[in-house]
A and B are shown apart, each in its own frame.
Chain A
Amino acid sequence: MPSDILQIEKESYQHLVENVRDFAIFMTDVSGYIISWNKGAEFVKGYTAAEIIGKHISVFYTPEQIAEGVPQMDLQITLEKGQFEDEAWRIRKNGTRFWAHVVFTLLKDSLGNTVGVGKVTRDITRRKKVEDENRRLNDKLKDQLQKSRSEILDYKHALDESSIVAITDQKGIIHHVNDNFCAISKYSREELIGQDHRIINSKYHPKEFIHDLWTTIAKGKIWRGELKNKAKDGTFYWVDTTIVPFLNEKGKPYQYLAIRSDITKRKLAEEQIHEINEDLERKIRERTLELTKSLEREMSLNEMKSRFVSMASHEFRTPLTAILSSISLIERYKMPDQEEKRHKHVERIKSSIRNLTDILDDFLSLDKLEQGKIETQCLHFDLQEFIEDTINQMEGMLKKKNQEILLIYNGPREIKQDKKILRNVLLNLLSNAVKYSPEGKIIQVQVNGDNENVFIAIKDEGIGIPFEAQQHLFSKFFRAGNAVNIQGTGLGLNIVQKYVELLDGNISFSSEENQGSVFTVGFPKEGKG
């Protein structure tokens, strides 16, 4: 390198050093006495070159540093190692302190002899402040992080202690479960991780309910609700559930935290209350129905009563009128030759009284039947004889209307039945046949039987039963439209039907208006009771 260039460089360099403002660059001798001073040194430390050259560097040190012998030590280290770098407090001329970055460099000539110490000092108070602040903030942050980490751990601990916790990914795959989850579901952690919640699905909730849950959390919203789950052993449990979606920076859920608490007991209690309520409601309904029914019964009883009064009024007044008028006439027939007329009216009175007695008998039978007071008493007897005998009882009625009963007997001889009831049934049906047939007609009685049953059919050629009346025929007090001019209580067939039921039998009929009717009674050969 040519020497003039070197010289120029040296000068430029010196100029540069002298004029650097941010760095105090100065030299001391090996003992620490200042021998050069640049502009920067003047700016940083506050001394002019004239003031400071020849002074010892210890003026820059704090009293504490001086007391500890720091200036000498710094020099000593520099002399030994050739360079020493440090950051420490320094004092300006005006007594104020600054944080300095200092570099000591041992200076040697071209021959290697030590000529002094070069010192570069920089005021890094601001940097230190920033660094200190950074450190402080960092520490604070660390501290806070530590705190919140332990807080989170506390929360997690509290959550794990108190709740049933599971974490799933956005697809619902279970990534984490706590001990409570395992305990209530009776699955081990290994069995649960990697599965989705279908593993504990009770199939209790409707599809829409589950769909609503998923749409809610997929939107990033919290879902709350009560879920019924199924444990590994097939038992069910109820959990109050809160599902909290964790959202990524795009606001999309990347995992779900499900916090549950066991509400099985409460649900069971609720179910019980529900059941009790249902039971109560059912009972109330039943009771209401019962009351309605008894009200209806009461009403039909009332209606029955009024029908009875109307029927009784008519059925009683007719024979009573006949009796009263016959008595008036008997009173008039006082002459001995009027014996025949008197006799006719006495007979008429008797017949009317029989008529009244029959009506009373009907009422009494019906009352007994309805109160279940009639019991069957079955005895063995000859059926054919019995029927012939019963037909003979009809003779009086038949004679009056010049009618005849024809018996066709194909039935068994001996049967076991309640004779009294059977006689009632037959007399009732036969007298109906007589009553509702014109004079001179024939009534046919046909008896058939099989191994178990007897069938008695009574056929007449009478007025018949109008089609619209047929369905009501066995109702109490019912009279068919074409029968109203014929005396009757409307109780006969009702009583017959009840009697036949007592015999474990049944009654049916077929009829055509103005053609006649056939009533068929079937009953077992061997009656019970």
Chain B
Amino acid sequence: MKKVLIIENSREIRENTAEILELNNYQVFVAEKGSAGFDLAKKYLPDIILCDIMRPETDSRAFLSLASGDKVIRDIPYILFSEDSADSQVGKLSENKNNLCLLSKPFEANDLLDAITERLDEKGPW
């Protein structure tokens, strides 16, 4: 079972996303804040991390800077929730741009699932 970590500020989105993923046989960990998310990532080493970066001020971004400084975590693929795919700031958020993709809100459940599958497939078979 693949492990997914969700770092999302909005309770409704956090819970709904977790619910969707669980229904699709993922093991899900959730965090409201970036710092807690980083701790969970260290603890459970998820296969993929979903992180909301909607607002520049949110501490989800703090997670990204922590993550990119960590040898293990920084190689985990991300999916970033953003306001739109043209967010120019996203590029600055991760040193390893190859392992991140953007998903703009609001998104369909299928789009999310496809994006996750795609990222995990790219990583290669386990």
- Where the two chains meet, the residues of A that have a C-beta atom closer than 8 Å to any C-beta of B are 313-314, 317-326, 328-329, 332, 345, 348, 351-352, 481, 484-485, 487
Cβ–Cβ < 8 Å partners of B57 in chain A: 481, 484
The 10 closest A-B pairs by CB, nearest first: A328-B109, A325-B16, A322-B12, A321-B106, A484-B57, A320-B106, A317-B105, A321-B105, A324-B106, A318-B10
Q: Are A322 and B19 in contact (CB under 8 A)?
A: no
A317-B105, A328-B109 given as contacts; is B10 within 8 A of A487 (CB)? Answer: yes
A482 to B32, CA, bound (A): 15
Q: Is B9's CB within 8 Å of the partner chain A? A: yes
Q: Is B20's CB within 8 Å of the partner chain A? A: yes
A313-B83, A322-B16, A326-B16 given as contacts; is B106 within 8 A of A485 (CB)? Answer: no
Q: Are B108 and A484 in contact (CB under 8 A)?
A: no
Q: Are A321 and B109 in contact (CB under 8 A)?
A: no
Q: Are B23 and A323 in contact (CB under 8 A)?
A: no
Cβ–Cβ < 8 Å partners of A487 in chain B: 10
Q: Is B59's CB within 8 Å of the partner chain A? A: yes
Most chain B beta-carbon contacts within 10 A, residue among A352, A481, A485: A485
Most chain A beta-carbon contacts within 10 A, residue among B16, B23, B32: B16
Cβ–Cβ < 8 Å partners of A345 in chain B: 16
Q: Are B58 and A329 in contact (CB under 8 A)?
A: no
> SS class of chain B's interface: helix, strand, loop or mixed?
loop
A125 to B84, CA, bound (A): 133
Cβ–Cβ < 8 Å partners of A329 in chain B: 16, 19-20, 23, 109
Q: Is B30's CB within 8 Å of the partner chain A? A: no
Most chain B beta-carbon contacts within 10 A, residue among A313, A322, A487: A322
A325 to B19, CA, bound (A): 9
Q: Are B33 and A485 in contact (CB under 8 A)?
A: yes
Q: Are A332 and B59 in contact (CB under 8 A)?
A: no
Cβ–Cβ < 8 Å partners of B20 in chain A: 325, 328-329
> SS class of chain A's interface: helix, strand, loop or mixed?
helix
24 CB < 8 A contacts A-B: A314-B83, A317-B106, A318-B12, A318-B13, A318-B54, A318-B105, A319-B12, A321-B107, A322-B12, A322-B16, A323-B106, A324-B109, A325-B12, A325-B13, A325-B106, A326-B12, A328-B16, A328-B109, A332-B23, A345-B16, A348-B16, A484-B57, A485-B9, A485-B32
A318 to B84, CA, bound (A): 13
B113 and chain A: residue at smallest CB distance: A328
Cβ–Cβ < 8 Å partners of A332 in chain B: 23
A314-B83, A317-B83, A348-B16 given as contacts; is B54 within 8 A of A322 (CB)? Answer: no
Cβ–Cβ < 8 Å partners of B110 in chain A: 328
Give the residues from 7 to 44 in chain B that come closer than 8 angstroms, CB to CB, to chain A. Answer: 9-10, 12-13, 16-17, 19-20, 23, 32-33
Q: Is B55's CB within 8 Å of the partner chain A? A: yes
Nearest-neighbour CB distance to chain B for A93, whole angstroms, equals 140
Q: Are A348 and B12 in contact (CB under 8 A)?
A: yes
Cβ–Cβ < 8 Å partners of B55 in chain A: 314, 484
A324 to B13, CA, bound (A): 10
Cβ–Cβ < 8 Å partners of A314 in chain B: 54-55, 83
A481-B57, A484-B57, A485-B33 given as contacts; is B12 within 8 A of A328 (CB)? Answer: no
A345 to B10, CA, bound (A): 15
A386 to B14, CA, bound (A): 38
Q: Are B83 and A325 in contact (CB under 8 A)?
A: no
A351 to B23, CA, bound (A): 23
Nearest-neighbour CB distance to chain B for A97, whole angstroms, equals 131
